[in-house]
Amino acid sequence: MSGIDILTFLIWLVAAITFILALKFLASPKTARTGNQLGAIGMALVIIWTLITDFIVPGQAGRLWIVAVGGVIGAVVGVLSARRVPMTAMPQMVAIFNGAGGGAAAVVAVSEFLASANASEGQLLPIVPVVATLLGALIGGVSLTGSIVAFGKLQGFISGRPVTYNGQQVVAGLLLGALLIIGVVLAVLVNSIPLFLLFVVLALITGVALVMPIGGADMPVVISLLNSYTGIAVAATGFVLGNYALLIAGTLVGASGAILTQLMCRAMNRSLFNVLFGAFGAVVAGGSAAASGEEQNVREIGAEDAAVLMAYGKKVIIVPGYGMAVAQAQASVRELMDLLIAKGVDVEFAIHPVAGRMPGHMNVLLAEANVPYDRLKEMDEINDEFASADVALVIGANDVTNPAARTDTTSPIYGMPILNVDAAQNVIVLKRSMAAGFAGIDNPLYGDPKTAMLFGDAKKSVENLVAGVKLA
């Protein structure tokens, strides 16, 4: 082993350590920025060393311009996206960037297979590298097109409702069966470039077929799962290329994404199979007012009265949801919190694991508005505190506050752990209208006698609450 090889392994080891520490720090909002920076440093180290070795290794310098051009384009897109994309659109950016990662892994797998097939002169390739290459192409392709569909659903280009049809499970089964058969043939029977390209095309189609039937309410789980897919594809690519930095990074992303996916499924009391094939979000018959066409009698409240109710209470729990994200109301919510605290009110935020459209969506938005981390409480930590709260202020969080999850066995969210906002002395709900959430069902909370509805754009409503608290 040459000195360059030894140094390369050391660089990879250092990078792997930074990746592991990055994940550790990302586990807490207080250290998340440090974790993000550590991960970026580790990846930059690997990229820079790759560029250096391209200069040193004979015959490799000619490819440097490709890497340099790609790096410049990627850096420009990354910087502009980070600076210009609003926090409310962060789920879409995560989805599309994840798709780019999966697509990159698939392209590398295709390139490696084509190069190996051309060099082998029709002879079978070693089975282990072929299997790894096929996995990289399959999982990367599924992640690419699946992430594009997820992006479209989040952005509104594609309906957020599940796009279902009769026999969709059969079609998905046939696609997966065809991929398995073609993969076995390529691994043990024949070295065929046309058959491999068909394999890649079917992988791309499978990504669309798997994500289209999934409703918008399940996008946090889908994004997490697709992140895991991309990590596995990258790990397979690292194995094929003999690059341990890629292998370790991909394995960490794949494993952490899988764990996060499982935790989010548990938070909804649903299996991953049900998320992928249950068509959650379709309008269902029975079990809710939204489904049966019945209308609830709701009590409306003005912003001034709501502000007085909070200003003279002892404890207020704010429940942020997607409505806050859409209205970009997080800064106004922070101002409301500051005013209430100045009046001696104890204010906390209740965060449901699947609130919003990506894992940690509410945490990210509130952190952007500089809401102190110690006021953000996870569901298990704060649920018992609602009973002592004078007011629970719900900002666009529909399904995660729906009491039907506890009692209505016909509801599609039955059994899902929810925030116990109905235990508070008073509940104020900020919504644009009485339209159902992504689950497609009504929320009995809105008909509760102690619930008052403040209709309108969430940001404008919170600004009116701020004005009311100042006068209270």
DSSP state of 419: -
**Which residue, among 122, 134, 146, has the nearest Cα to 200 in the 3D structure?**
134
Q: How is 143-186 classified by DSSP, letter by letter?
A: HHHHHHHHHHHHHTSS-SS----TTHHHHHHHHHHHHHHHHHHH
Segment 437-445 shows an average pLDDT of: 74
Give me the pLDDT at residue 269, please: 72
Give me the pLDDT at residue 340, please: 96
The tally of CA atoms less than 13 A away on the side-chain side of residue 137 is 26
What would the pLDDT profile of 82-97 be if each residue is shown by its tens digit?
A: 888 877 777 888 889 9
Segment 180-192 shows an average pLDDT of: 90
Q: Which helix H or strand E contains 471, and what residues bound it? A: helix 458-471
Cβ-contact 260, 248 below 8 angstroms: no
Q: Where are the alpha helices (DSSP H) in 295-435?
A: 303-311, 322-327, 330-342, 361-368, 379-382, 404-407
Give me the pLDDT at residue 284, please: 43
**Which residue, among 441, 424, 221, has the nearest Cα to 318 in the 3D structure?**
424
> Which tokens belong to 2?
């040459």
Give me the pLDDT at residue 155, please: 83
Q: How is 39-98 classified by DSSP, letter by letter?
A: HHHHHHHHHHHHHHHHHHSTTTGGGHHHHHHHHHHHHHHHHHHHHHS-GGGHHHHHHHHH
Cβ-contact 118, 183 below 8 angstroms: no
Segment 52-73 shows an average pLDDT of: 72
Choose the weakest-confidence range: 61-65, 184-188, 433-437: 61-65
What would the pLDDT profile of 268-325 be if each residue is shown by its tens digit?
A: 777 777 777 655 444 443 444 444 444 668 899 999 999 999 999 999 999 999 889 8
Give me the pLDDT at residue 287, please: 43
Which residue's entry shows tokens 């140094």? 7
Above 90 in pLDDT, residue 125?
A: no
Band (175; pLDDT cuts 50, 70, 90) = very high
- Helices and strands: H and E segment counts in the chain: 18, 7
Q: Compare 169 and 232 and report the one with higher pLDDT.
A: 232
Above 80 in pLDDT, residue 128?
A: yes
What's the CA angle centered on 356, arms 82 and 458, to 5 degrees? 95
pTM: 0.77
Helix, strand and coil percent figures for the chain, each rounded to 5: 65, 5, 25
Choose the weakest-confidence range: 77-81, 85-89, 370-374: 85-89
Distance CA 268, CA 130 (A): 38
Q: Which residues, in sequence order, are bridge partners of residue 347?
A: 316
- Indicate if 390 belongs to the active site: no
Give me the pLDDT at residue 395, please: 94
Distance CA 361, CA 29 (A): 12
Above 80 in pLDDT, residue 217?
A: no
Cβ-contact 457, 328 below 8 angstroms: no
**Mean pLDDT estimate for the chain:** 86
Q: Compare 63 and 361 and report the one with higher pLDDT.
A: 361
Band (62; pLDDT cuts 50, 70, 90) = low
Choose the weakest-confidence range: 70-74, 221-225, 356-360, 452-456: 356-360
Q: Compare 432 and 106 and report the one with higher pLDDT.
A: 106
Question: How would you class 165 by CB atoms within 10 Å of its CB: exposed for 0-12, middle for 13-18, buried for 19 or more?
Answer: exposed
Q: Strand, coil or helix: what is 453?
A: strand
Q: Compare 385 and 441 and report the one with higher pLDDT.
A: 385
Handedness of CA 206, 212, 214, 217 (dihedral sign): positive
DSSP state of 402: -
Catalytic position from the list 399, 408, 422, 442: 399
Cβ-contact 226, 232 below 8 angstroms: no
Question: How would you class 282 by CB atoms within 10 Å of its CB: exposed for 0-12, middle for 13-18, buried for 19 or more?
Answer: middle
Band (50; pLDDT cuts 50, 70, 90) = confident
What does the chain come to in residues?
472
